Amino acid sequence: MNTRPCPNCSGHAPFTRRHFLFGAASLLPVSMHAEEIAGRAVGRNSAKSIVFFNLNGGASQMDTFDPKDGPWNPRDVDLRTSGAITLSNRFFPSLLRKTDDLLIIRSAASWEAAHERGQFYMQTAHSQNPALAAETPHIGAIIAREKGASGLLPPFLSFNQTGLQGAKFLGGLYEPMMPPANRTGIATLSHNHFGSVQQSRDRFEKRFGLLESLDAPLRGNPPNEAMAAYGGYYGRARAMMYNDAVDQVFKFSAEDENRYGATGVGRAAIVARNAIRAKNGAVFFNITQGGWDLHDAAFTAATSIYTLTRDLDRAVAGLVDDLKASNDFNETMIVIMGEFGRTPGPLNSRNGRDHYRNLMSVVLLGGGVKGGRVIGATDANSANIVDYGWSEKRPIYPEDLTATMYSALGLDWTKGVMDTPSGRRYDYIAGAREGQYKPVEEIWG
């Protein structure tokens, strides 16, 4: 039965904007199939996984990966040059020994200069639009959808992140798993509350079977997206329980913990390492390091450039060393970036730096990236880009970086999805199919 308003029928109110919208909706195609291949772009397929270090708060390019000699530096900054790369030996002593692996992009920029919008943009490669937020998934969820969710672990893992966008309309199978990262692993993966572990497992299996039979009508015809996502993710969680291969991914030694820095970012990097080595389904790892919003006391606060760079340096260096030891480095792309840069030149009146979207630095390692190089150049104050360093002759935006990650994984970055809840087309990267944004091919040399 048609329950839509009928403005020309007796007894109905005059034609309104709501009636117009109902009428317009009726003109849409009845069947909107899963996805449309826009340009059939062919990715590089140089990597099997991506570890994304999210420097939440916006890291200063001048105090990290685009340092400049000047009065703004602390006395112990100790800038050193190795080949094409200059870094502070005080802040990045470990990465200075790995410059052959580093590719630094110094000509990146952002369209956003506010944290919430910048994080949304960085996580999705889309601008934040409240009307479309429920139809804008995290790039990790897109990767999960493209790579599939057939392994023991979910394809998308995230650590230390609040305000994560998640899979949204893509469904529960592609939601991120957000586990704790600690040496003892995840306590809820198994238990022995009912005698031995085997007895407990048998009882659990019976109870889970009963739950599935009772929930079958809801699972088969969920009343809303939240219920559908819950059903999809619940079954995946069940497959992880009482499984030693899964359990060992989340555990590590005290020696490893100390080598990676015994920090939140370090422990997350260890779990990512374990999952990459295990090759049991995890593909995209979001590791967030907060604290980079240093408007005040950038070098003297309890959380400062000193502590943040130290923790990041040890975590990334440990990850690189261990992935090389297991021959996984060349198939793992590591990306380090924040949502925007910080004001250039001298520190502000509070001895910190404010938001600056015109310029930021991004670091790439592994995954087929040709290291020992810098793309782009900035002026003496790190205020303006003087050489873009790539074919497009413009700043490199998060859309381009997302297209680069998709390409590295062999994905078509010009794809779009049609069967969204609203019926609007969702493009993986808006403007990509028209050629507005594209992978930075120069990273591969």
pTM for the full model?
A: 0.88
pLDDT tier at 36, thresholds 50, 70, 90 = low
Q: Which has the higher per-residue pLDDT, 317 or 230?
A: 317
pLDDT tens column, 310-338: 999 999 999 999 999 999 999 999 999 99
pLDDT > 80? residue 13: no
| Res 113 pLDDT > 70 | yes
Homologous superfamily of the 28-184+250-444 domain (CATH)? Alkaline Phosphatase, subunit A (3.40.720.10)
Strands (E), 367-445: 373-375, 377-378, 385-387, 416-417, 426-427
Beta strands per DSSP E along 229-327: 284-289
Name which residue leads in pLDDT, 30 or 225: 225
Per the prediction, the chain carries an average pLDDT of 89
Would you place residue 27 in the very low, low, confident or very high pLDDT band (cuts 50, 70, 90)?
A: very low
What sections of 196-250 are H helices per DSSP? 197-220, 225-240, 244-249
Q: Are 429 and 411 in contact (CB under 8 A)?
A: no
Res. 8 pLDDT band, cuts 50 70 90: very low
Which DSSP state fits 251? B
Of 387, 426, 371, 392, the C-alpha closest to 101 is 371
Query: Average pLDDT in the 252-264 region?
Result: 98
Residue bearing the bigger pLDDT, 234 or 371: 371
The domain spans of the chain are 28-184+250-444, 191-241
pLDDT value of position 38:
59
Distance CA 259, CA 262 (A): 7
- Residue 24 confidence (pLDDT) above 90: no
Range of weakest confidence among 81-85, 99-103, 221-225? 221-225
268-286: per-residue pLDDT in tens?
999 999 999 999 999 999 9
Pairwise CA distance, residues 298 & 32, whole Å: 51
pLDDT tens, residue by residue, 361-420: 999 999 999 999 999 999 999 999 999 999 999 999 999 999 999 999 999 999 999 888
- Chain CA centroid to CA 440, Å: 18
Alpha-carbon Rg for the chain, nearest whole angstrom, is: 24
Is pLDDT of 187 > 70? Answer: yes
Q: What is the pLDDT of residue 147?
A: 95
Over residues 213-235, mean pLDDT: 76
Three-state DSSP at 199 gives helix
Q: How far apart are CA 250 and CA 257, in angstroms?
A: 12
